[in-house]
């Protein structure tokens, strides 16, 4: 599934570069829409594949010392375009000092992308905040807060269920398979 989608993305980029001739503004707009749809479909496929690995118990972890500040610095630029488009402020609060934790770097990044991406998706104005703080037991606590629409107390139980979005009616404004928070929770629990 990913191979033909990557090919679509590659051909779109070649067309955008003008490799096959000049591109009109209207064509460039259409190519941008194709590229956006390709990225969304690829993200859905990756979520479903990650879900299948979690459910089958075949997720492998490479536990190494991870510089938490560096991991955050790798993730936040990925959200930059969405944050800028909405005019949000991404506020990262990490206490001074070196923060090293034993974790799987890729899985930690995926957790952060899923949590922060979800917060950005459902926040129309204001800020998204990531705060990192030490705990007395030697662990590190991560907290994501935003100025989004909020979640009704009665909906909290559904929040981390697979294939569930709280905004799941016919007028749903946000895309996705409803797997991001579920995957983040499962990976965090396994780590």
Instruction: Read off the pLDDT of residues 65-77 as tens digits, 9 standing for 90 and up.
Output: 999 999 999 999 9
Q: Which one has a higher pLDDT value, 171 or 112?
A: 112
pLDDT at residue 88, rounded to an integer = 96
| DSSP classification of residue 40 | H
The strand pairing partners of 179, in sequence order, are none
Confidence of residue 151 (pLDDT cuts 50, 70, 90): confident
Mean pLDDT, the chain, integer:
86
Half-sphere exposure of 142 (CA within 13 A, CB side): 19
pLDDT at 166 over 70: no
* Rounded distance between C-alpha atoms, residue 120 and residue 186, angstroms: 21
Q: Which one has a higher pLDDT value, 163 or 129?
A: 129
* Rounded distance between C-alpha atoms, residue 144 and residue 174, angstroms: 19
The pair of three-digit structure tokens given for residue 161, joined into one six-digit string: 């269920």
pTM: 0.76
Residue in the block written with tokens 């190519």: 31
pLDDT at residue 55, rounded to an integer = 83
* H/E stretch holding 174: none
Mean pLDDT of 3-31: 91
């Amino acid at each position: 599934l990913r191979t033909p989608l990557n090919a679509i993305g590659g051909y779109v980029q070649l067309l955008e570069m003008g490799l096959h001739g000049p591109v009109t503004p209207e064509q460039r707009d259409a190519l941008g829409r194709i590229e956006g749809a390709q990225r969304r479909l690829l993200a859905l496929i990756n979520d479903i594949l990650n879900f299948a690995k979690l459910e089958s118990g075949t997720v492998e972890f490479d536990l190494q010392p991870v510089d938490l500040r560096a991991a955050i610095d790798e993730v936040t630029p990925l959200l930059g375009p969405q944050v800028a488009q909405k005019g949000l402020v991404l506020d990262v609060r990490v206490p001074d000092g070196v923060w090293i934790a034993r974790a799987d770097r890729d899985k930690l990044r995926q957790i952060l992308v899923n949590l922060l991406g979800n917060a950005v998706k459902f926040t129309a104005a204001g800020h998204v905040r990531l705060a990192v703080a030490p705990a007395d037991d030697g662990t590190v606590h991560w907290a994501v807060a935003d100025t989004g629409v909020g979640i009704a107390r009665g909906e909290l139980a559904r929040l981390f269920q697979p294939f569930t979005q709280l905004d799941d009616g016919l007028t749903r404004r946000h895309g996705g398979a409803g797997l991001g928070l579920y995957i983040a929770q499962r990976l965090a629990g396994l780590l």
